[in-house]
């Protein structure tokens, strides 16, 4: 994993770059996967093909999803919570 602001290699569990102090999800000068320099307006890294615009998703609690499934499962609320909106809408209809 590389810093998207300065291009230096990072620890996989790092939240901030130790070289420039920027959050690992911020910056658009370097690819976070291969570390090569990118155009600031690019959507895809030309070196490795990684999508540069996607942001890491926050982890969802399986316990909360399970409780939503038990109590509101008929309405598909647990699927909305987990991000499966298509199947949740189908289940709701």
- pLDDT tens-digit map of 2-55: 888 888 888 888 888 888 888 887 888 888 888 888 888 888 888 888 887 765
pTM metric for this prediction: 0.49
- Structure token pair of residue 57: 């998703």
Q: What is the pLDDT of residues 81-90, one digit of tens each?
A: 888 899 999 9
Q: In this structure, are residues 37 and 13 in contact, taking their beta carbons and an 8 Å threshold? A: no
Question: Where exactly are the structural domains of the chain?
Answer: 1-56, 62-92
Instruction: Name which of 39, 41, 40, 30 is nearest 8 in CA terms.
Output: 30
Is the CA virtual torsion 63, 64, 69, 72 positive or negative? positive
């Amino acid at each position: 994993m590389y810093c998207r602001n300065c291009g230096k290699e990072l620890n996989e569990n790092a939240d901030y770059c130790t070289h420039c102090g920027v959050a690992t999800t911020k910056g658009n000068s370097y690819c976070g996967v291969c570390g090569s320099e990118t155009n600031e307006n690019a959507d895809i890294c030309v070196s490795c093909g990684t999508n540069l615009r996607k942001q890491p998703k926050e982890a969802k609690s399986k316990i909360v999803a399970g409780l939503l499934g038990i109590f509101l499962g008929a309405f598909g609320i647990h699927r909305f919570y987990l991000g499966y909106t298509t199947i949740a809408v189908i289940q709701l209809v």
